[in-house]
């Protein structure tokens, strides 16, 4: 009998919590939208203002997943592009799935470019400059890694590698999910 009473109390509590969640479900999208916005003054100043899990990117940066991206149109060598990104508190972009790559392709295409540097490079194996895992690949062509150790994006297909001294636009990425 005690077990039946305990089970009834637990079931009643679960149903009450579910009903309360359903009652507030309609206000959740509006609340998420409000939490994800910052004031115009903060946005114009380029301030990065995290609020819980929601954030806004600085002016000139584009939000995707938990990072901010900026296509730098000025042509630079890979190492110069990496240094420029570092000066912005960012790194050259890394790619971890087809969705990431499609986003970067569109970012490059929208800026009117057909290629751009990413953060991939060869040093005793392929790596990302941000030290994330190089577990996803989408090679269009692979040239000799010894002669062409730097990875670039192609809007018409997968990525390829080229001499790091070649000058192209680049994509910087700021991770916002780390401290």
Same domain, 146 and 80: yes
Distance of CA 103 to the CA centre of its chain: 9
Same domain, 146 and 86: yes
Please indicate, yes or no, if residue 116 is contained in any of the structural domains.
yes
**Residue 62 burial by CB count (10 A; 0-12/13-18/19+): exposed, middle or buried?**
middle
CATH number at residue 117: 3.10.100.10
- In degrees, rounded to 5, the angle at the alpha carbon of residue 67 between the alpha carbons of residues 64 and 71 is 75
Under a CB-based contact definition with an 8 Å cutoff, are residues 117 and 171 in contact?
A: yes
Q: What is the pTM of this model?
A: 0.69
Same domain, 99 and 19: no
Same domain, 78 and 132: yes
Residues of the chain with pLDDT under 70: 1-54, 177-179
Please indicate, yes or no, if residue 165 is contained in any of the structural domains.
yes
Residue 71: name the closest of 156, 168, 145, 5 by CA: 168
Please indicate, yes or no, if residue 9 is contained in any of the structural domains.
yes
Structural domain of 144: 62-175
Residue 89: name the closest of 67, 104, 120 by CA: 67
Please indicate, yes or no, if residue 53 is contained in any of the structural domains.
no
pLDDT tens readout for residues 84-114: 999 999 999 999 999 999 999 999 999 999 9
What local confidence, expressed as pLDDT, does residue 12 receive?
42
Same domain, 25 and 93: no
Same domain, 154 and 66: yes
- Taking the C-alpha atoms of residue 128 and residue 169, their distance in angstroms, rounded to an integer, is 18
Kind of pairing, strands 150-154 and 126-128?
unpaired
How many other C-beta atoms can be found within 10 angstroms of the C-beta atom of residue 107? 20
- Taking the C-alpha atoms of residue 177 and residue 65, their distance in angstroms, rounded to an integer, is 10
Same domain, 114 and 26: no
Please indicate, yes or no, if residue 102 is contained in any of the structural domains.
yes
What local confidence, expressed as pLDDT, does residue 53 receive?
56
In the chain, how many domains are there?
Answer: 2
Name, in order, each residue with C-beta under 8 angstroms of 17's C-beta and a sequence gap of 6 or more.
none
Same domain, 105 and 18: no
């Amino acid at each position: 009998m005690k077990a039946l009473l305990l089970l009834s109390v637990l079931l009643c509590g679960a149903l009450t919590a579910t009903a309360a969640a359903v009652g507030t479900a309609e206000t959740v999208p509006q609340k998420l939208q409000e939490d994800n916005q910052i004031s115009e003054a903060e946005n114009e100043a380029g301030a990065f203002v995290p609020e819980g899990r929601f954030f806004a990117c600085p002016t000139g940066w584009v939000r995707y997943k938990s990072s901010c991206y900026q296509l730098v149109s000025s042509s630079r060598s890979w190492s110069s592009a990496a240094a420029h990104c570092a000066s912005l508190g960012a790194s050259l972009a890394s790619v971890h799935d087809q969705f990431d790559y499609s986003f970067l392709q569109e970012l490059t295409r929208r800026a009117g470019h057909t290629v751009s540097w990413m953060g991939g490079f060869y040093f005793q194996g392929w790596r990302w400059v941000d030290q994330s895992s190089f577990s996803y690949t989408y090679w269009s062509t692979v040239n000799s890694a010894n002669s062409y150790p730097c990875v670039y994006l192609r809007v018409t297909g997968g990525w390829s590698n080229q001499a790091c001294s070649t000058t192209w636009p680049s994509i910087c990425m700021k991770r916002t999910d780390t401290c």
